[in-house]
Amino acid sequence: MLSGARLKQIAPYAIILAVSAYLYYLALHFEFDRVSGRIGPDAWPRLVLVQLMAICAYQVLRLALQRKPGEVEGVLQSLEEKADPSLASVRAEHPGLAWAGIAVTFVYLLAFERVGFFGASVVYLFLLMYVGGYRRLLPALAISLAASLAFMFVFMKIVYVSLPLGRGPFLDLSIGVMKALGIH
């Protein structure tokens, strides 16, 4: 039988698993005109939901099967802490960092339409790294720019998702980036 502490660890993953399974069921019933040779608007949500369900199922099983609470750590966590042991103390001493990350995400969502996908994403990724404790500014800026360009290219050129371009000078910036990436 699972202890109360273990159930508390499992509960968020189980809830997300259940919600994503329900959303997957809804995605199976999207109504749209199918075009031969093209994926429909139901493909990407289903793909993301399958991945989310797989991760949650893995976490539920991992937590349910571990011998002692806290015995098994995540792969990424163990690699991070081997590379930089100070990260363990940051997590333990500053739980407010997660709330700061949530606040940055909320501001990103509010700015998304006005600033456009590209501009908002560059700033969001940079601030998220900074809040997370990464203080090398030039690499953080380079990563933010590269990731935003890559996401914009994939979403707009490959997946054909219409992203917000922003208003005023941000619209001009987005159009310039689209031209540079060959997006019409």
Each residue's pLDDT tens digit, 52-82? 999 999 999 998 888 765 544 555 566 555 6
Q: Are 112 and 164 in contact (CB under 8 A)?
A: yes
pLDDT at site 24: 92
Q: Are 174 and 117 in contact (CB under 8 A)?
A: yes
Average pLDDT over residues 116-129: 95
| Sequential DSSP letters for the chain | ---HHHHHHHHHHHHHHHHHHHHHHHHTT------TTS--TTHHHHHHHHHHHHHHHHHHHHHHH-SSTTSS--HHHHHHHHH-THHHHHHHH-THHHHHHHHHHHHHHHHHHHHHHHHHHHHHHHHHHHHTT---HHHHHHHHHHHHHHHHHIIIIIS-PPPP--STHHHHHHHHHHHHHT--
Least confidently predicted of 70-74, 120-124, 145-149, 172-176: 70-74
Give the integer Cα–Cα distance in Å for 44 and 78: 31
Is a pLDDT exceeding 80 seen at residue 100? Answer: yes
The confidence band for 87, taking pLDDT boundaries of 50, 70 and 90, is low
Residues 30-39, mean pLDDT to the nearest whole number: 79
Residue that wins the pLDDT comparison between 152 and 30: 152
Q: What is the pLDDT of residue 147?
A: 96
pLDDT at res. 38: 75
